Structure formats: structure tokens, C-alpha cells
Structure 1
């Protein structure tokens, strides 16, 4: 018999954030740090589900994640008045929102489809719970960002920017979820299925895979009067798994209902990355 843990994150204390900043004629530099509590509920159905002997799940104790971030802003008036270069990097353990890795959609759901209709989902989780020990295993993430703002004229400006980031889950965290999947009989989790460790499906499933994300873009803004911006922006985003392959749910949407067939060598479409191009038009009036 097995039970489910109420994994909704509950904070009993606020995040603590500190910043140290230096400003000078050349620009500025800043270093920040944050501490983030990770705390969840208890077993959701204490009586257990299924057949067999009840398995006692230990209470999950709260943990603390953290993140550090550093950045510099460099003024470049010798190129053009107002020109600025920005560089920033962040690293976090159990605190993805602070590194910006999940900023595209936010870390408010177990898995998220960054690109509508994309080939696989990313898992934006600060931590996972070991179903046998009840302990949390925190995820790691980092990002690096660079952008350059250039003024062609006082009313015309452009920006180019790019970022790269990665997130990682411990091998033990994924294996623990996989063993729990086996305990349930290998069904019932749909696209969130990790699969049984050692099987082909486990190697190809998208759940809790280590991923990377690359973003690049450029914009052109016209400000005919003060506080009015009219412009266009182009954006390219690529996500991918850091190792191996994953099931392509765009080309093979029924794959997660054929777990047994996949483990027996059945045909399945797979991929290593996905990307999207976007174009935006923006009209903004500040008051």
C-alpha cells in the first residue's frame, strides 16, 4: 500500500534578501543573496492506497534554499550617449525563481510547457521528496545574462540580449520517484511518469530531467514623445535535455499511454531539444 504526500509548498517564514551595491561614474555593481524556506504538507491519505502492507512515510522536514546573484552595469557614453552594457549571473539551490531559470512561466506548477505545443515539458521544482525517506532533494540552477542598449538617436534605441541557464536534479531524486512509480504498478501519472529505473521508458521520460535553456533577442524602440514607446522585438528560445533523449510529445502524443510497449522495444518518437521564434509589437505609455 502507498500514500501520497501533499507537496504544495508552504512558507512559514518570509524570504530573506540582502543586497550590496556600488555606484560610480563608470556604472554600478551589485551582489545579492537570498534564503528561501521549503516546507510541505503531510501524507495526503494516511490510510494508504492499493493492496499489501502499509508503508510508513516519514514526515518531510523543512529545508532552506538559497541563491546568490552578481551583476555589473557599464556606461558607454563614448559610443553614444545612453549606451549601456549589462552582465549578470546567478546560482541557486532550491530557489529557481531567484536565478531566473523559470521566469518564462514561473515555478507555480510541477511541470510547465514553456512553448505552446512543444516537444517536452520542463520541470521547475525547487525540490523533490524522496518517497521512502521523506527527505527533500533540492535542485540546482544557474543563469548568465548579457545585454547591450544602444541609442541611434535620442528617440531611437535598440537592445540585443542573450542568456543561458541550466537546471539539475540529483540522480537519487529521480530514481526515488521512479521506484515510487513502480510501487503504484507503473500507471496513473501520465506525462509526469518517471518510469521504472533501468527500463527504456525511464531513460526517455521527460519528468525531472536535467535541462538547459538558451534565449536570444533584439528590439528596436521609437519614443516620439516622453514616456511613449513604440517598438518591435524578436525572440528566440531553445530548451533541451543535457544528456540522452526524451519522448517527443508533439509528434507522438500518445506515447505516455504505451509505457509497456515502449519498454518492450516499441517505436516511439524522441528528441533532444525544441525551439521557437517569436515576434512582438509593443506600445507603452507611462504616466
Structure 2
């Protein structure tokens, strides 16, 4: 067998030697692109410059429960994160065309501040379903950025233009800031000269929304943990009781329910005035955020008296938020050091103010704070059962 194999190899080699040899195409080496800063190179065969970057990170946290029944009973938390950035730029007759993508992944385990309920609720993470892993193990994937910029326009998934200090190096989500990871938007920025710029942005309200308070939802989620059907109903229908009319004495009568889940009806509108100079930056931001509910879910359960009348479905209310920010460069301490100061106020737009950054977002109440004496409610509005109107939270 060995002799036969050697003979076949010899014949194959002889035949290969008789074939004409085609020269390989010349290799186009990667060229450095210095137009847009360090790290860019030309994509071979194109005029597009690309920078590939990223980072890897590990975190460990130790936190003993401060009260009985607080947290999951875990003392340790772990998190490994990965980030990949792709920044492509092409020079055109009308300016630079830029496309930017950032993907983030993470593996999180342990106590609640490592296992992020916020990421589960917004659909960025995949929770474990095993007996020991449920509520403790989570895989995370997020399209953090995916936008195009050209001639003052920005479109795609990016940081909200409302944000000033979009915190990046936070520990266990423990940095209070006005920003969320990213949102879907379409914006135009005008350069006014002398360091001034103005932006008008239309943004996806889904990433700035805190649920309208519904006592039926809270009760179902807290007290009926064993009834999955009722839990699903509470989340997908979120019924809130309202009185449907008044009797001759002016007392409310007739009980019905309103679906208080907010719909995507009107985008959030953000306006920004910014000032940039060598010493730092300053910014004033404003946002309008619609708060709405669905239609009536059921007929009156009981009517008392005659001609009680019916209250119409609650109208949409418009929340708003404002923010001022100041950034001061401090190169005399170390290159790149900065000081950020900012303050925000909102009505019916709590996530613009950063109020839920630590305890969790996209939820009506949060209890992940260790040793907290009471639940924290962050709803953008409460449905008044007597007037069937939305009352905005300040």
C-alpha cells in the first residue's frame, strides 16, 4: 500500500509540473488613512477609510444582603463584557459620509445589580431558565450604535441628542445620568459658527418610557407569582380601574377598566443648543414626550343610579424635560481628564432625568436597592380613577 501511494504521488507530481503556471495577482497592501485620525486604514479597492476597535472588560462585585428577604441571597456577582466598533468614512463632494456600528455582548451572573432586569425588559438580554440560573444568569446582546451621518443629518440608532454626559465607565449601573444606552432617531444638526450648534431630533419613545401606574398590574405581578396566565394578562393588558360615571349626588358609580399600555403614536421631539470651545462644552436640551393609554377594556361591572353618564377615554398628555450641562477640560490633572456638571427636570418624562438609572428602568416599581425600606415608583403618570385623566409625575 505504501509503495502504491508513493507511485501515485510521483505521477501526480509529474503531471502538475507539466501544467502552465499562472502568476498570482499582485497583493494590494493595506494603506494608512490619516484624514480622520489614528487607527484608520483604506479598505482595499475603495476610497473608504475604516477603523476597527473595541475592548474587553471583567467585573466582580461582592455585596452581602443588608436585610432579610432582600435580593436573591447572592453575595457575588460577575460580568464579562465585549465591545466591537466599526467606523467607516468616505469623502464626497458634499462632505464626509460616515457609518458607525457598535455591538456589545456580556455574560452576567450573581446578585440583581449584575443580573440586569432592565436589559431583560427592553429585550437586550436573554435570561437563564434553569432552576439555579433563573434570575442569576443572563446573556446580553445589544446593537448599541448603528447610524449614518451625512451633511448634518444623523439617522439610525445612536445616543439621544438630549443627553450631555452619556456615561460609559459606570460601575454596576451605579452612575446617575440622563442618558439611556441608545435610541432610534433621525436628526439634523446645524453649525451656527463660533462654536455654537443647534439640533432638532425625532426619537423613538420606546426607550424613554416608564409604564403608566396601574394598581392591577402591580398587584398581579407581586401577589400572584404562581399564576402565569394572570401575570401575562397584567403585563400585556395592564388594566387600571376607573369609574365610568356619577350619580345624581355626584358620587362615582360604575367600574370599568382602561388598558394603560402606551402605544407608539407620536415620536419624542428633542431640541438642543450646544457650545464647544477648547476649554470645554455647554449644552441646553429640551424634550417633549407623549404619555398615552389604550381604549376601554371592558363594560361597566355595575351601574348605580340613573343616567350616570360616561367619562370618555383619557386623552394623551404631553410630558416634557429640560436639562443643562457643563463640561470643563482639566488637562493640568492628566490628559483627557474632564469635569461634568448637569441637572435635569421633567414632568411625565422621568427617564430623561435619570431617576431610574440605579434601581432599574422600564418598570413601575423597583426593589433591587439593598435595604430599601419601601418600593420606588417611577411611573411617568397615574391614571386618576375618578376623572379618567392622566396625571403626570414630576
TM-score category of the 2 structures, normalised to the smaller one:
0.3 to 0.5
TM-score, normalising length from structure 2?
0.33
TM-score, normalising length from structure 1?
0.44
